[in-house]
Amino acid sequence: MDQFTRYAVYFTPRDGAFAYRANEWLGRDPATGKDLPQPVLAGIGDPHGITAEPRRYGFHGTIRAPFRLATGVSEARLRDTIAGLAAQLAPVVCDGLQAETLHGFVALTPLGCEAALLDLGAAVVAGTDPLRAPLSEAEIVRRRPDQLSQRQRELLHRWGYPHVMEEFRFHLTLTDRLDTPEPVRVALEAYFAPVLPRPFVIEDLCLFAEDHTGRFHLLHRYALTG
């Protein structure tokens, strides 16, 4: 456990054309930790400079945002907790995915499964909450509470993250924040079109961990079988 600073529960697709294309776009495979050559798309040029932040995390959709383990909580206990949740929760079936601009960055967002995603997110956040360390003052400041709504500030202090429960919006991030995201969104829509799954199924809870360099790694995936 000493080698990792924080843990998170994400979704990342299983091996296949969709996962490979997404990892290739970001330039990194979170399962192996290896860097990948990134494609140069028409109208974008070299993508390395616009994918720094999502590359650090690996291709994923957040379900439980990164957190430090509470004193006395082991990685083994965390793994057991996630395994237990996965055994109780059912896969979420969505109609598909679309390329969308969110707050200046481009992401893939699911279609037709909002209520089920809210339920999944709430269950995972509540189920893992006893394992996380309280937020430090520095961690609270990093969330910029002055820019959050009153409800989001309440969620931040209660659950350690402001975008949970009814504020949860599942997305798979593809870029950093951009000054002009629309040309990038259009290019990525075309790039991903041949491999986007229909339906899109969230079928696993994926345990990720952050190393001392700030990069996240896929440690294990737990099939949703409830």
Answer for the pair 59, 172: CB distance below 8 angstroms, yes or no.
yes
User: For position 65, what pLDDT does the model report?
Assistant: 97
Indicate the pTM of the whole model. 0.95
At 13, is the pLDDT very low, low, confident or very high (cuts 50, 70, 90)?
very high
User: For position 54, what pLDDT does the model report?
Assistant: 97
User: For position 1, what pLDDT does the model report?
Assistant: 41
Residues 6+ apart with CB under 8 A from 149: none
- In the predicted model, what is the mean pLDDT of residues 191-205? 98
Query: Alpha helices, DSSP H only, in the chain?
Result: 17-26, 52-57, 75-88, 114-128, 137-142, 150-159, 182-192
Give the right CATH number for 6-113+170-223 from 3.90.320.10, 3.10.690.10, 3.90.1140.10, 3.40.50.2300.
3.90.1140.10
- Residue that is written with structure tokens 């969230």 in the block: 202
User: For position 3, what pLDDT does the model report?
Assistant: 85
Domain residue extents for the chain: 6-113+170-223
Q: With 60 as the cut, is the pLDDT of residue 213 above it?
A: yes
Mean per-residue pLDDT over the chain, rounded: 96
- In the predicted model, what is the mean pLDDT of residues 115-126? 98
User: For position 223, what pLDDT does the model report?
Assistant: 98
| Distance, CA of 45 to CA of 42 (rounded, Å) | 6
160-183 burial, b at 16+ Cβ within 10 Å, e below that, comes to bbbbbbebbbbbbbbbbeeeebee
Helices then strands (H, E): number in the chain? 7, 9
User: For position 125, what pLDDT does the model report?
Assistant: 98
User: For position 142, what pLDDT does the model report?
Assistant: 87
Query: In whole angstroms, what separates CA 1 from the centre of its chain?
Result: 21
Share of the chain above pLDDT 70, in %: 99
User: For position 150, what pLDDT does the model report?
Assistant: 95
Which residue, among 207, 203, 192, has the nearest Cα to 108 in the 3D structure?
Answer: 192
User: For position 43, what pLDDT does the model report?
Assistant: 83
Answer for the pair 21, 191: CB distance below 8 angstroms, yes or no.
yes
Helix (H, G, I), strand (E, B) or coil at 3: coil
Answer for the pair 59, 216: CB distance below 8 angstroms, yes or no.
no
* pLDDT tens per residue, range 47-87: 999 999 999 999 999 999 999 999 999 999 999 999 999 99
